[in-house]
Structures are given as C-alpha cells and as structure tokens.
Structure 1
Amino acid sequence: MNHSPEPGAALAPVVPHERLLTLDVLRGFALLGIFLMNVEYFTRPLSEMGSGVDPGQAPLDYALSWLIYVFVQGKFWILFALLFGMGFALIGERARAAGRDFRALYLRRSLALLGIGLAHALLVWGGDILVSYAVGALVLLWFRDQSPQRQCFWGVALYGGAVLMLLGLSGLLLLAQMAGPELVDAAQANAEQAQRAAEIAAYSQGTWGDAVRTRVDYFVMHLGDLVVFEVFAVGIFLIGAWLLRSGAIADPAPHEVLLRRLRHWALPAGLVLALASAAITVRMDWHHDAARSMLAVALMFAASPLLSLGYLALIVAALQTRARRWLLLLAPAGRMALTNYLLQSLLGTWVFYGHGLGLWGQVARRWQVLGVVMVFALQVIGSRWWLQRFQYGPVEWFWRACTYGRLPPMRHAAAHRL
C-alpha cells in the first residue's frame, strides 16, 4: 500500500499504520546488538575502546567477549546506520511525492538529534553515537538529489576508500616496523594512561559532576576521531538510502536476487574477513605492534558492512516465513529505539557508576550479557505496553515535535492526520 502524502500536502509525522514494520523489526534487532556492545563500556574506560578483547578474563567471559567482538561489535552500529540512511531516504521520497522541499524539515530534525546526542554524550554516557549520526545527517543533504545508484556508488566509495586507506596505513606501519624497532612515544603513552586513570576515578567513585567533567574532556579530546568516523558513517547512510529506494525493504519479493546475494555472498565473505581479522589479533597493541593491530582493524572494518547487510537480509527473509510472528515482537522496541537506547545508557551508568550502584569493574562479562538479555526483554514488553496507549515513545515524540514545529498527538484517541 502506498502511504505517500498527496501532492501539495504538508509533511507530517508518520502515524502508526503508515510505518514499515520491517524497519521497526530491524531497529529492535539492532537495539539488542548495540546494548550487547555498549554494556562492556559502561564498566570499562572509553579510552580502551578500540583495544579489542581484554585477555585477563575467565575462559567463559573471554569466549563471550570474543564472540561479541567478532559478530556484534562494529556490526550493529552499521545496521543502525543503514536504517538511519533509510529514514533519510523515506523522508525524501515522501517529500518528493508531496512536491515539497524537505531540506528545512530535515535540518530541524538533524539539529534536534544533535541536541539530544550532546545531552546524552555529556550528561549521561560518553560513548554516544547520536552526535555522529546528526552531523552525518547534515552531510547527507548534499546527496539528496542523487539517484539511488549514485547514492550507492558514493556510499561504497566513501566506506571502501576509508578501508583501503586503513589497509595502506597498515602496510606503511609494517615497513616502518621492518626498518627498525618501534619507538614508543612516552609522552603519548603517559597521556593515555592519565586519561584512563581519570575515567576510572570519575566513573567508579566520583560524583555525577565529576563524571560530566570527564565526559566533556573526553568529547573535546576526540573531536578529531568524530571527523574520521563520519567518512564511514556517511558511506553507510548512503548505502542504506539506496537500499530503501531500491524497494527491497518495502517489497522484498521482486528483489529476492539482491537479498539472496546479501545472504549467500556478502554474509559469508564478511564472516571470512572477520575471522581473518580475529586470527591476526583480537587484542590491539598500538604501541608495540601497530602494524598487526591496524591490519586486524582494517579487515574488521571491511567485514562489518558485509555482515550487517547479511544480517539485514536474513531478517527480511525470515519475515516472509512463520518466524514473522516472533520477529514482530521486536517491532515495538524498534519504534521506540531512541528512547530505549537512552534508557540503556541511563540504566547502565546507574548500575556501574559511582553516583549509582557503583558496580564498576565488579560484574563479569557473562553476567553483563545475561543482564542485557533480561533488560532488553523488559524493554520489548514495556515498549509494547507503552505503544498500546501512545503513538510514539517519549523521546521520539519530542524529536518529531522539534522536526515538524508542532506537537503531534500523543495518545491514540487524539490521532488524526495533521
């Protein structure tokens, strides 16, 4: 069914019956993966992000960390980024159908997300990704008038080009390593150690104010990383936009050849690359073995979008089978993905930080994973309960209000087309 607005109609928030259930299911699935990845860094310094798997764990905990590193970490932010790009494309398609220019609306949407992301990054948890998405969304506007094929081309070029640069850098580091022993920059090593110690002190024992100050310092210090990350993120956004505009998400049957290729070619290729990366190393030593670490990271970056697209194609295929009834249980959590993402951070920092329960460093990986599964199950149930009474999650409602410049009806009884 076509839910595009009539030509000349004002753009308005999408009401529940107009939503693509496939996107909501995929968001719910991605939300679980993001939580499995993030929980480790609610109780570990963010300065260690990118260092790989902690070798000092018990065997079961190490095995779980290894599995999450290979199959989850770096894959589910990409799945979310694909969905974010699809949202961009969906708004653009609705605007084109209505004969409207959506730039002002999308600018408000992106700036509102930037505000939410900054509040999250500085006041709640420093591992926020919303700021990156919001900044990348502004870049996306440059590609708004491109054809789906051109968007795919630029997406692959941006992401693939960045991966090739990482591979090239690993080669240069290897040559430098072969030319002589690697010299450790003592000043840099001391600065990193000081940052790590400051994070542990602020988060494990400090007040909320101490944590905020540390998050501000971390955010400012890593602004350069944000710029680099945007190259990868915008590339994935554009691939997601192409995938939505291709019709493969809304109407999978005519696009089975594409989806089959993602399942039978992209997924195995991604698995091979991910396992090759893990075989090289899962513990990055950037001071004494940077070449090997960089090669492992480059291969994992190459593997991640292939695995993510494969996961996506598997979910889309499963939605055409009897598994659909079970997968649809994820849809309410996906409709409230932003609210649930922020709730995960609020709960995670409250459990582990000193201004909450103070369990920093005391919860083994196995119990972290079990806790994630239990909390996510409650989020699925709670989201269903909420959406039986309201049209939007609370943060989604606020985001839409900022985007459209008016308050959308919250309760179902008040629903009507604006």
Structure 2
Amino acid sequence: MSTTTDDVLAPVAPGERIHTLDALRGFALLGIALVNVEFFTRPLQDIDAAGIDPNTRGLDYLAEWLTYFFVQGKFWTMFALLFGMGFTVMIERARRAGRPFVPAYLRRSLALLGIGAVHTVLIWSGDILVSYAVAALLLLLARQVRRAWRRRVARNEPAPMSASRMGGWGAALYGLPLVVILMAGMFDSPPASPGQATAPTHAQAEQAQRSAEKAIQRTNAVQAYSQGTYADAVDQRIVDTTWQMGTLPIASFWILGLFLIGGALLRSGVMANPGAHDRALRWTRNFGLPLGFATMAVSTWLGTAAPDEQLSLREAVQVVLFLVASLVLALAYGATLMLALSGSMGRRLQGWFAPAGRMALSNYLMQSVIGTLVFYHYGLGLWGQVGRAWQVIGVVAVFALQVLASRWWLARFRYGPAEWAWRCITYWHVVPIRA
C-alpha cells in the first residue's frame, strides 16, 4: 500500500464535509443503539417476534412501547439512506473531477464487507454492515450493466441518472418486497375450522421443521451468550450469521431502494444546501410526521410481532404498514432535524450529534463491544437481568460518553480509527490521521 496520494480519488477533507450529514448520522446512531440494545441481551432468533411484549409492566412497558412506536425501523432506515448518500458522494466527486471511481468504490465496499465480517463473528452477530456492503456491490453491478447497455444501444456515455429517476427506482425497489408480503398474506391458506381435522401439507411440515430448528438455535444461543465462554460465543455467532444470511436476498431490495433514495436526496442538493430547500423540508416534516404516526398507529393496532413465515392477511398488512411508516418517518425525522439545525438550537444540536456522526462506524462498532461485554457471560454476565427502561437509560448514557469521546478524538485526529482504516483501504494509501 503506497504512502503517497494516488491519482484516482482522495478522502473528503474535514473542511469539505457536509456537516448536516454528520449530524444526521449521529442522530441515527442513537436510534439504532436504542433498538440494538435489546438484542445484546436477547437471542437474535427472537427478532421476528420483536415488538411490544404484553407481559412487560410499568416503566419497562412504557420504554418498550415508545421505542417500538417511535424508533424501531425508523433509524435503521435513516442509516441506510445516509449510507447511500455516502456512496453517492464518492461517485459525484469522481464525476466532477473526471476520474475513475470504480476501483476505489470496489475497495470501499469490500473493506466494509471485511469490517462487517469481523464484527459479526468476533463481536456481535446483529451486524448490518455485511448487508450494506453486499447492497453496495449490487449497486455497482447495476450501474456498470446500465452503462454497458447504453454504450451498446446508444453508443454514447450515459448521463448521470437524475435525482427524480433515482428516487423512483429506489421507491420501486423498496416497495417490491411489500407487494410480495401482501400477496403472501392474501394467498395464505385459511386456518381450519374448530374440530376439523386436516392432514398437514408438505409446506406446513417443512415450516414445522424450520420452526423446530429455529427453537434449537435459540436455545443454543441463550446458552452460549448467557453461560458460555468467548469461544462458545464466536461459534454461536457463526451459526447466527449463517442463519441471517438467508434473509439477505429480500433485505437487499430494501437496502438497495434506500441507497437509491438517499442518493437521490444527495443529488437533489438538499443535503449540501438545505436552506434552498426549506419549503420541501417543511412539507416533509408537516406531512410526514402525522402520516407516519397514523400509519404506525394502525400497524401497532393490528399487532407488533413480525412473523417471518406463513403470514395471515392481517399480519401482512401490519408488517407492510410498519415498513411504510418506517420510511416516511425516517424522512420526516431527517427533515425535522435539518430544520432544527438551521434554528436557534442548531449550533447545540450540531455539537451533540455531528462528532458522533463523523465517527459513526467506530461508534457503531464500540456500541457492540460495550453491549456484549455488559450482557454476555464473558463480560459482566447481565444477560436477561436488565429491564427495558434501564436499557434505554444505559444507551443514552453510553451515547453521551461517545459524544464526549468523539469530540476529544476529533480535536486531535481527522478521522475515527475505523473510518481511518476504511479510508486507507478505499484510497489505497496511508491517509494522514493527525488533525
């Protein structure tokens, strides 16, 4: 790896950063931690049952309800939108400079894949980075196929996709799995009448077998994380990760869609110059918040669990409404924060969220390190002993410490440690880290 700058691309200098993006990343990081903390002390096999536990009482119930209604799904969505913006920034800078970006983009995606693989095996199997990296590689493949097709048909270099068209493709990709979910619910076999004996179908027998295997995996996960050694936890994380990869084909549609929607927002100019898009931001906030909350209210009324197989029509509608509300509220939350950043509280909000956002990857990884050391047996061993309310309080406290640590670090260094390593691999030279 060279120690001199190559002639392809260079990292964004601190003075060239879009600070709004940093603040949004920090904001999203807090929301993601509020949801992830539940699965530092609960097996990932329960993720399809995550919601509001009716057996929870008092402040734990309130914390669980508020987290589910206002946070769950919304900040994961926002984080994916922001990742899409980050990849689009690289493409835009390369296009304006007239330089190739594919080698750097490929290294960036493969480096993220490697970081995610280390995270999911050695730290916590609830990783999202592997999925983001796979989606980024698929996005590159789609772009190259489009360019090759246009060169062959039109025999010219295709123009960059417009923001509106990119957003339209993103919405279509995000919406396609929702249509599949609704169709699955519509064509699901109705339950047998009471007293009516029916022989199980082949599909039902396969589902029963998968459910039994999942129950065994859940038992093993609880054993490994609550009572096992670090080596036992690593072995279980490999099993958990292999199981989760089965959801990647359908999840890739959502993530690709969100990447494209995020890229469209970046390309529209709203992130670089929010003041010029004040009217659109206010419309998104004023229309998106009530629409998103109303949609979420109906979804919550229908149910809060998210079964991964054999959906009834009611469950399918509930899941679809939840996913629609997640996107609408992610956009509305983002617009609300962007408007707040231009107001009287803007400087204070920027000071809180932007440093954490500049080190989002490092802070995300550190949250997993802290969470597993607190709850797993090879750490403090508090698995299953901390209620939801104290989980929320703990997350807010850890995030506040991360904000302080991020401010201290960035006063001395240009990038967080994980961001620095990621940039070195992306640009294939040792990037200066000292501020």
Matched-pair contact (CA < 8 Å) for 2:184–2:311: no
What CA distance in whole angstroms lies between the structure 1 residues aligned with 2:167 and 2:426?
Answer: 27
- From 264, 280, 289, give the equivalent of 2:302: 280
Shift of 1:143: 3.6
- From 328, 348, 356, give the equivalent of 2:371: 348
Aligned counterparts, 1:153-302, within 5 A = 153-173=168-188, 176-177=189-190, 185-284=207-306, 290-302=312-324
What CA distance in whole angstroms lies between the structure 2 residues aligned with 1:286 and 1:345?
Answer: 25
What CA distance in whole angstroms lies between the structure 2 residues aligned with 1:283 and 1:63?
Answer: 17
Partner of 2:93: 94
Higher relative contact order at CA 8 Å, sep ≥6: structure 1 or structure 2?
A: 2
Tell whether 2:385 aligns with 1:357: no
Output the amino acid matched with 1:30. Answer: A
What CA distance in whole angstroms lies between the structure 1 residues aligned with 2:8 and 2:236?
Answer: 44
Aligned counterparts, 1:269-418, within 5 A = 269-284=291-306, 290-329=312-351, 330-412=353-435
User: What's the TM-score, normalizing by structure 2?
Assistant: 0.89
What CA distance in whole angstroms lies between the structure 1 residues aligned with 2:129 and 2:429?
Answer: 23
Deviations 1:298-356 (A, max 9, x none): 11011110000000000111111011111112111100000000000000000000111
Output the amino acid matched with 1:13. Answer: P
RMSD (CA atoms): 1.9
What CA distance in whole angstroms lies between the structure 1 residues aligned with 2:306 and 2:261?
Answer: 29
Which blocks of at least 5 consecutive residues in structure 2 are unaligned?
A: 1-5, 145-159
Output the amino acid matched with 2:223. Answer: A
What CA distance in whole angstroms lies between the structure 1 residues aligned with 2:244 and 2:8?
Answer: 40
Shift of 1:187: 2.5
Matched-pair contact (CA < 8 Å) for 2:300–2:318: yes
What CA distance in whole angstroms lies between the structure 2 residues aligned with 1:91 and 1:100?
Answer: 11
Which blocks of at least 5 consecutive residues in structure 1 are unaligned?
A: 1-7, 413-418
70-79 or 235-244, which moves further after superposition?
Answer: 70-79
Shift of 1:186: 3.6
User: What's the TM-score, normalizing by structure 1?
Assistant: 0.92
Deviations 1:83-121 (A, max 9, x none): 111111111111011001211110000000000000001
Given the superposition, is the C-alpha separation of residues 95 and 289 from structure 1 closer, same or farther in structure 2, using an over 3 Å criterion?
A: closer
Matched-pair contact (CA < 8 Å) for 1:36–1:68: yes
Shift of 1:290: 4.2
Given the superposition, is the C-alpha separation of residues 284 and 11 from structure 1 closer, same or farther in structure 2, using an over 3 Å criterion?
A: closer
What CA distance in whole angstroms lies between the structure 2 residues aligned with 1:274 and 1:61?
Answer: 20
365-374 or 186-195, which moves further after superposition?
Answer: 186-195
256-265 or 384-393, which moves further after superposition?
Answer: 256-265
193-202 or 279-288, which moves further after superposition?
Answer: 279-288
205-214 or 282-291, which moves further after superposition?
Answer: 282-291
What CA distance in whole angstroms lies between the structure 2 residues aligned with 1:355 and 1:148?
Answer: 48
Partner of 2:17: 19
Shift of 1:66: 1.5
Shift of 1:288: 9.0
What CA distance in whole angstroms lies between the structure 2 residues aligned with 1:138 and 1:284?
Answer: 28
What CA distance in whole angstroms lies between the structure 2 residues aligned with 1:368 and 1:407?
Answer: 39
What CA distance in whole angstroms lies between the structure 1 residues aligned with 2:258 and 2:193?
Answer: 38
Partner of 1:104: 103
Tell whether 2:34 aligns with 1:36: yes
What CA distance in whole angstroms lies between the structure 2 residues aligned with 1:384 and 1:285?
Answer: 41
Identical residues among aligned pairs (%): 51
What CA distance in whole angstroms lies between the structure 2 residues aligned with 1:72 and 1:172?
Answer: 31
SS of alignment partner, residue 156 of structure 1: helix
Deviations 1:268-292 (A, max 9, x none): 2111111110001124567897443
Shift of 1:222: 2.4
What CA distance in whole angstroms lies between the structure 2 residues aligned with 1:12 and 1:126?
Answer: 32
Matched-pair contact (CA < 8 Å) for 2:48–2:308: no
What CA distance in whole angstroms lies between the structure 2 residues aligned with 1:178 and 1:168?
Answer: 17
